[in-house]
Amino acid sequence: MGSSLPQKEANLFKVIVKSYETKQYKKGLKAADAILRKFPEHGETLSMKGLTLNCMDRKSEAYELVRRGLKNDLKSHVCWHVYGLLYRSDREYREAIKCYRNALKIDPDNIEILRDLSLLQAQMRDLTGFIETRQQLLTLKPNHRMNWIGFAVSHHLSSNVSKAIEILEAYEGTLEDDYPPDNERYEHGEMLLYKISLLEECGLLEKALEEMQKKEAKIVDKLAYKEQMASILVKLGFLEEGEKVYRSLLFMNSDNYRYFIGLQKCLGLYSENGQYTSDEIERLDALYKSLKEQYSWSSAVKRIPLDYLEGDKFWEAADCYVRPLLTKGVPSLFSDLSPLYDHSGKASILEELLLQLEDSIRMTGSFPGRTQKEPPSTLMWTLLLVSQHYDRRGQHDIALAKLDEAIEHTPTAIDLYSVKGRILKHAGDLAAAASLADEARSMDLADRYLNSECVMRMLQADQVGLAERTAVLFTKDGDQHNNLHDMQCMWYELASGESYFRQGDLGRALKKFLAVEKHYADMTEDQFDFHSYCLRKMTLRAYVSMLKFQDKLHSHEYFHRAAAGAIRCYMKLHDSPIKATTEEGDEMSKLPPSQRKKLRQKQKKAEARAKKEAEEKTEEEAFSGTSKPGKRQHTRPVDLDPHGEKLLQVEDPLLEATKYLKLLQNNSASSLATHILSFELNMRKQKILLAFQAVKQLLKLDENNPDCHRCLIRFFDKVSSFPAPVTDSEILIRNVLEAELPKISQLHGRSLVEVNQSFLEKHKDSLMHRAAAAEMLLVLEPEKKLEAIKLIEDSTNKLAPVNGALGPVREWKLEDCIAVHKLLETVFIDEDAASRWKARCVEYFPYSTYFGGCRSSAVAFSVNHNIQNAPENGVLAYQEAKSEESHSLNGKLHAFKDLTI
């Protein structure tokens, strides 16, 4: 480095490099300028100056200098390396790899460059390249631990596990017997555990076990050791030993469900689906009874039996389980019990049990069969639990009545208001739900959870502005949006985007959805630092599992929702293109052309000015920030498109949508929604074969799903309307379809009308299937519209088989009924049928604001003109505005009080 310079300047060059490494950029800049005064075209100095400026946020100068430096000294590996580093800092990894490779052509054994290259290859999952580079590094520096480990990991990542083990063993062979020294015991132990997990992974279980026994003393993480040991013993079928290990693990932590499952497996008492014979249940019961004696403080040991017990025994266990928790007051008790509701038998027992408890406490103040008085709060907690029970069973009126009683009893218990909001949401009154959540929030303004829940409810009720103002109360600096974005607050961005979408504001919706997509891209970026860190720190098991997590990062639900949302926005944009999106646009269309041009120029100027100002601002801050390096990271470019208007001005919305569809297809292939979106998108793009693929996928996933049926019928109806194929590609498509057709069993020898008919026959008791069949009947035979509507209207809302003790539950779901109403309104375009449907549903869903139910806030508010009034102790303010004149609010006036005015 710094070659071809005289001694003095060569020393100065070393100063630049040193300053860069120690982040003393000003010093480095001075040294660079000193060299350049004498040798203005010295390539490596120019490059290093550019790299230094890059760290001082002077990007454009940096690129210019680095490129000039390279041009002046194409044979310098330093210049190429610097160019690579510059690209790497801008996350242009492919370009960076190219630069590194050029540098290595000049200096093939440069360790630093090889190491930097290997990090990029790991990041880009260029596994072949990664192995090569790691091998080179090991050959060059075999005395470095990290090089052995890196080489092993590279083989593991490309699924060559046995090779990875070989390398680790070869590495162990280079070590002295007394290895490791005290300060490296942890790292060495991690390496051993990693090796053992590799042995387990490739099925060499005996060897893994042997290794564990041999190396026990050298493994520092005793917990991980035991867990690994237990897992291997079970796989080998050494159940007795396994049992011992699991029992000792339970001794360390008696609330870890995995240990209980492990122990059950060792005893032959575990079934994946939770089904047990009566003999097994008895043995399980005995097991947990003895465990309960040993670990009386464990809550898992009390909760698990509720999963396998049945009948009277379940009743007894549930009774014992809930009583102390009701006395203590555990707001999360219902969500703890909630999984039990999947067995309808247990749900009914719980109902009886809870009602009995409620009754006893109300009448005697004690639990049944007890004389000890419960604290007054027990009644309130019991009422809460009973209320949540009825909510879960869909009996919202009873749920709300119980909850109102609890609020009357203790109007200061915040959980009651949150739960009431949740029930109202389930019952279909989103505005009232938001207002209850807000009331809960107001009772403890320091509680972030209550704030978040309230924001969520407001977004669900499409009160986006209010939600934003509420969320801001908890974000730092009151810097609202940007800050939620920085915190990667995705639930907020998704709910907000979905609300904007419902309200037809596609720009803002897209903005939010794309923000979520950006977070996932950032998470992919975030792994970069770990490639070197984890190898150095030897946290290999965590490292590899992090890489595997990253590989399927985009299959996460939040990403799925964001991508689906973005695709829907783009399709809507395609279906009804927006001509003038902004208010200015509307104004513009009214103006004569000459003025329009002027206005447009003016707008452009204003935009450019704003952009320039923003850039200047960041630059200024960057300069003033150099003395305080910590601060510089906080500056950010001003958002030039806060409302997402520019996002709407894409050339081809469907092309944009395709980008996100591909991510969904690669990462969420087992989701119906993915293929339904693919169908919709490809039908719009006239990509017949791709649409057909979507149909095939859908039929494979669930041929009985109403939406899958819709896609099937719509696809073949569309195909049959095509004119005879003329061009080569049309003929090709026709041929492919004809070849594929026999594979679609639904269509064998039947017309589409018949297919639709038999689908209806098969699912004639289900509302959503009938609606799908009706809609397809309309597609196939538009003249049979009335018959199709009759199909929908003839559906009956039966009583659900679960039979509540306090009243019947019907089968239809609110969201389904709303979907049917929208179908009648927008697809059948039949006002009368839609209003008949509405009149019918309003009976079933009295709390629904959509149907204008008699108990919904939509009706209550319009009668009382009183939306602004804050709710009063959980009762939405239907009364007139209160003043000092108003009398009893909660009915309890006297006794033990004094007053003043």
Partner 1 sequence: MGMISLDGVRDKNVMQLKKLNTALFPVRYNDKYYADALSSGEFTKLAYYNDICVGSIACRLEKKEGGAIRVYIMTLGVLAPYRGLGIGTKLLTHVLDLCAKQNISEIYLHVQTNNDDAIAFYNKFEFEITDTIQNYYTNITPSDCHVLSQVIAQNHRKK
List contacts with partner 1 (CB under 8 A): 328-329, 373, 375-377, 379-380, 409-413, 442-446, 872-873, 882-890, 892-901
Name the residue nearer to partner 1 (CB basis): 743 or 897. Answer: 897
Q: How far apart are CB 371 and partner 1 at their closest, in Å?
A: 13
Dihedrals φ, ψ of 151, to 5°?
-65, -40
**842-878 b/e with 16+ CB inside 10 Å = b?**
beebbbbbbbbbebbbbbbbeeeeeeebebbebbbbe
Name the residue nearer to partner 1 (CB basis): 37 or 897. Answer: 897
List residues bridging with 872 in a β-sheet.
Answer: 875
Q: How far apart are CB 447 and partner 1 at their closest, in Å?
A: 9
Q: How far apart are CB 879 and partner 1 at their closest, in Å?
A: 12
Q: How far apart are CB 364 and partner 1 at their closest, in Å?
A: 15
Name the residue nearer to partner 1 (CB basis): 312 or 884. Answer: 884
Report d(CA 398, CA 386) in Å as an integer: 9
Name the residue nearer to partner 1 (CB basis): 434 or 767. Answer: 434
Name the residue nearer to partner 1 (CB basis): 374 or 391. Answer: 374
Name the residue nearer to partner 1 (CB basis): 224 or 875. Answer: 875
DSSP character string of 860-887: HHHHHT-TTSPPBTTB---SPPP-TT--
Q: State the DSSP code for 9.
A: H
Q: How far apart are CB 333 and partner 1 at their closest, in Å?
A: 14
Q: How far apart are CB 441 and partner 1 at their closest, in Å?
A: 9
Asked if 538 and 149 touch (Cβ cutoff 8 Å), the reply is yes
| Count of CA atoms in the C-beta half-sphere (13 A) of 728 | 0
Report d(CA 305, CA 635) in Å as an integer: 55
Q: How far apart are CB 377 and partner 1 at their closest, in Å?
A: 5
Q: Which amino acid is at 386?
A: V
Tokens 């919709």 correspond to what residue?
A: 680
Sign of the CA dihedral running 841, 844, 846, 849: negative
Asked if 574 and 522 touch (Cβ cutoff 8 Å), the reply is no
Q: What are the start-end ranges of the H helices in 721-830?
A: 728-740, 752-762, 767-780, 785-793, 814-822
Q: State the DSSP code for 184.
A: G
Name the residue nearer to partner 1 (CB basis): 439 or 505. Answer: 439
Q: How far apart are CB 373 and partner 1 at their closest, in Å?
A: 7
Report d(CA 849, CA 855) in Å as an integer: 9
Q: How far apart are CB 888 and partner 1 at their closest, in Å?
A: 6
Q: What angle, rounded to 10 degrees, do the helices at 557-575 and 672-684 form?
A: 20
Name the residue nearer to partner 1 (CB basis): 772 or 877. Answer: 877
Asked if 19 and 11 touch (Cβ cutoff 8 Å), the reply is no
List residues bridging with 799 in a β-sheet.
Answer: 810
Cis peptide leading into residue 180 (ω within 30°):
yes
Q: How far apart are CB 445 and partner 1 at their closest, in Å?
A: 4
Q: How far apart are CB 403 and partner 1 at their closest, in Å?
A: 15
Residue 494: name the closest of 517, 465, 526, 522 by CA.
517
Report d(CA 616, CA 610) in Å as an integer: 10
Q: How far apart are CB 405 and partner 1 at their closest, in Å?
A: 12
Name the residue nearer to partner 1 (CB basis): 686 or 888. Answer: 888
Report d(CA 266, CA 264) in Å as an integer: 5
Q: What are the start-end ranges of the H helices in 528-671?
A: 528-537, 540-551, 557-575, 583-590, 593-625, 629-632, 653-667
Q: How far apart are CB 300 and partner 1 at their closest, in Å?
A: 24
Asked if 543 and 535 touch (Cβ cutoff 8 Å), the reply is yes
Residue 209: name the closest of 155, 245, 163, 166 by CA.
245
H or E stretch at 843? helix 831-844
Count Cβ atoms below 10 Å from residue 696 Cβ, excluding itself.
16
Asked if 510 and 648 touch (Cβ cutoff 8 Å), the reply is yes
Q: How far apart are CB 886 and partner 1 at their closest, in Å?
A: 6
Name the residue nearer to partner 1 (CB basis): 320 or 889. Answer: 889
Name the residue nearer to partner 1 (CB basis): 315 or 474. Answer: 474
Q: How far apart are CB 409 and partner 1 at their closest, in Å?
A: 6
Report d(CA 700, CA 743) in Å as an integer: 11
Q: How many residues appear in the chain?
A: 901
Q: How far apart are CB 87 and partner 1 at their closest, in Å?
A: 50
Asked if 511 and 493 touch (Cβ cutoff 8 Å), the reply is no
Name the residue nearer to partner 1 (CB basis): 94 or 373. Answer: 373
Name the residue nearer to partner 1 (CB basis): 477 or 885. Answer: 885
Name the residue nearer to partner 1 (CB basis): 442 or 671. Answer: 442
Count Cβ atoms below 10 Å from residue 194 Cβ, excluding itself.
24
Q: Which residues lie below 8 Å from residue 634, measured CB to CB, with a gap of 6+?
A: none
